[in-house]
Amino acid sequence: MFAMSLDGFIARDDGTFDWLDNFPADDDYDFSAFMDSLSGIVMGRATYDVVRRHDEWAYARYPCLVATSRPLDNPPESVEALAGSPAELLDNLRARGATGRIWLFGGGDLARQFMDAGLLDTIQIGTIPEILGSGIPAFGGKQGDRWLDLAFAKPLANGAVHAQYRVRR
């Protein structure tokens, strides 16, 4: 699950996503139910760095793996860093108790790696009615065509659209 601007960006060029402050996840999006459905998180390094700027670590109840080759400074207790293939990242989380749904929380390059490995089955997107003009693309920039099947699309009261797609194999 991730939020994306109408023109396909998940963050500004500097990695910040302050533009989402105008569109907080509301009851229509049911973010709390999504969070309750998780058993672990794989997070991109840039996303981790941005999230750690906040005082509170909101993901303490999950084993969390940051995909990076650089060490983490003072990570929260449930967080580990690992440089590896998508399969190795998932194996690490499974060994740490993530036996169900895993959230891939991070940049487009990470999502593309998981898609290329055949390890991404569902994509949930909150399309926000804002045009950024530039930024970090949702799926890591230029790549081959991919076809997804729509599971549902729901307009939200704040003007965003929540959609879920299944990745075709």
HSE at residue 81, side-chain half, CA atoms within 13 A, is 14
Q: Which two tokens stand for residue 4?
A: 């994306």
Q: Answer whether CATH 3.40.430.10 is correct for domain 2-6+28-167.
A: yes
Residue bearing the bigger pLDDT, 50 or 155: 155
pLDDT digits (tens, 9 = 90+) for 50-103: 889 888 899 999 999 999 999 999 999 999 999 999 999 999 999 999 999 999
Q: Which two tokens stand for residue 87?
A: 């399969």
Reduced to 3 states, what is the DSSP secondary structure of residue 105?
strand
Reduced to 3 states, what is the DSSP secondary structure of residue 86?
helix
Residue bearing the bigger pLDDT, 72 or 19: 72
Asked if pLDDT for residue 33 goes beyond 80, the answer is yes
Q: How many CB atoms lie within 10 A of CB 152?
A: 9
What is the C-alpha to C-alpha distance for residues 27 and 106, in angstroms, rounded to an integer? 23
Residue extents of the structural domains in the chain: 2-6+28-167
Range 38-49 burial, b when 16+ CB lie within 10 A, else e = bbbbbbbbbbbb
pTM listed for this prediction: 0.86
Give whole-number Cα distances, 91 to 6, 26, 69, 87, 168, in Å: 34, 33, 17, 6, 23
Sign of CA pseudo-dihedral 102, 45, 158, 26: positive
- Return the pLDDT at 23: 78
pLDDT digits (tens, 9 = 90+) for 99-138: 999 999 877 788 888 988 999 989 988 899 999 999 988 8
